[in-house]
Amino acid sequence: MLEMKHIKKSFDGFGVVEDISLTVEEGEVLAIIGPSGSGKSTLLRCATNLETPDAGEIHYEGEYGLVFQNFNLFPHFSVLKNITDAPIKVQKRNKDEVYKEARVLLEKMGLADKENAYPYQLSGGQQQRVSIARALAMNPKILFFDEPTSALDPELTGEILKVIKDLAAEHMTMVIVTHEMNFARNVADQIIFMDKGVIAEQGTPEEVFSSDNTRMREFLGKLS
C-alpha cells in the first residue's frame, strides 16, 4: 500500500531523515516511535506531500487521509462542512452522496448530534474524532496519524485510541506516530524505532520491545 525508498530530508544542511526505506502492506498497521526530534513528523510529512524529500521515492495506492496532533479543523466551518469540504471541492464527488457518507461517519464516531457544531464547541477528543471522520471521508486506502493523542488529556486519549483500534480491526491500513507504547504494542503489526533520522530498530512489537538496542532501551526507560 505504501513504499518509501531511500528518503532523505535536510533542513539547513542538517539531515533530519537519512536514507529511510519502509513498506506498509494492505491492512497493516505500522507504528513509528522514537524520541522527540528524531524525524518522525518529517518522515510522515514527506509521505503525505506536506514536505518534498531531497532524495528517494514514494509509491502508494489511492487516496490517503491525515490526522494531526492538533486536529487542524477549520475553525469557521461546522463539523459537517469540515468533513464534506474536501470530498466535494477537491475530489469533486456528488454532494448528496458525500453528505450521506459524512453522517454515517459521524454516527460511527459517536458524533451524530454534532454535525452543526463548530470546533470550539467540542472537546479535544470530539475534535480529534471529527478529524478522523474528515480523513475517512476521503475514502483513503491508508491513514496517517501524527501523535493523534498527544494534545489530549489522559482521559480523552483512550477514546481516540479505541477509534484507531476499531479501524485496525476493520483492516484499515495505517501509519501511526505515537508515544503510546502499550497501544503500539497491542495494535501495530510492525514497529519502527527512529533515532536521529534513521531506523534504529524495526520489527514486530515482540521483537522491538525485547530488543537490546541501547538507544531503544534508553528511550523505553525514559518513558516508564
Interface positions with Mg ion (CB under 5 A): 40-41
Query: What does 16 interact with, of Mg ion, ligand ADP, none (CB < 5 to 8 A by kind)?
Result: ligand ADP
C-alpha cell at 178: 505515537
**Binds ligand ADP by CB under 6 A, chosen from 6, 11, 59, 110:** 11
> Of 36 and 182, which has the nearer Cβ to ligand ADP?
36
> Of 11 and 74, which has the nearer Cβ to ligand ADP?
11
CB of 9 to ligand ADP, least distance (A): 8
Q: Which residues contact 151 (CB under 8 A, 6 or more apart)?
A: 69, 70, 71, 124
Query: Per-residue string for binding with ligand ADP, 34-63, x by CB under 6 A?
Result: x-xxxxxxx---------------------
CB of 43 to ligand ADP, least distance (A): 7
- Decide if residue 195 touches ligand ADP (CB under 6 A): no
Q: Which of 131, 135, 151 is nearest to 143 (CA)?
A: 135
Looking at beta carbons, which residue is closest to Mg ion?
A: 41
What span, in angstroms and rounded, lies between the C-alpha atoms of 111 and 131?
12
Q: Footprint of ligand ADP on this chain (CB under 6 A)?
A: 11, 16, 34, 36-42
